[in-house]
Amino acid sequence: EPEVTQTPSHQVTQMGQEVILRCVPISNHLYFYWYRQILGQKVEFLVSFYNNEISEKSEIFDDQFSVERPDGSNFTLKIRSTKLEDSAMYFCASVNLRETNTGELFFGEGSRLTVL
């Protein structure tokens, strides 16, 4: 069964460093999402991406964040200059709305980011 895959599973970085989190969505999916979950808090929407552009972003998704689909398979989240409060689990998700009217999202296992 196809799955969304994410790398790395855990990354430790110094404050101010750039981080790129990678996701490979399910191959026939068209919509891609990033969510994050700070420890002990709820899963929060960051950004959605469709047709090679951002379709919606939350207040959290400020200028330090960017997303890209560089090669037709990977979907990346870049944090340009990490802050301590960026420490969280980041989840990638995808969905194919041609087949799924209800929009069931398929999630990756998450990338844990620790900013020191």
Partner 1 sequence: AQRVTQPEKLLSVFKGAPVELKCNYSYSGSPELFWYVQYSRQRLQLLLRHISRESIKGFTADLNKGETSFHLKKPFAQEEDSAMYYCALSSKAAGNKLTFGGGTRVLVKP
Residues that bind partner 1 (CB under 8 A): 3-4, 31, 33, 35, 41-45, 48, 55-56, 91, 93, 95, 97, 102-105, 107-110
Least distance in angstroms from the C-beta of 55 to partner 1: 6
Query: Which one, 82 or 95, has the nearer CB to partner 1?
Result: 95
Query: Which one, 8 or 16, has the nearer CB to partner 1?
Result: 8
Query: Which one, 95 or 115, has the nearer CB to partner 1?
Result: 95
Least distance in angstroms from the C-beta of 63 to partner 1: 20
Least distance in angstroms from the C-beta of 18 to partner 1: 26
DSSP structural state of residue 85: G
Query: Which one, 18 or 56, has the nearer CB to partner 1?
Result: 56
Find the angle CA(36)-CA(74)-CA(78) to the nearest 5 degrees. Answer: 45
Are 91 and 107 within 8 A, CB to CB? yes
70: left (phi over 0), alpha (psi -120 to 50) or beta: alpha
* CA-closest candidate to residue 91, choices 106, 78, 101, 104: 106
| C-alpha count within 13 angstroms, C-beta hemisphere, residue 92 | 29
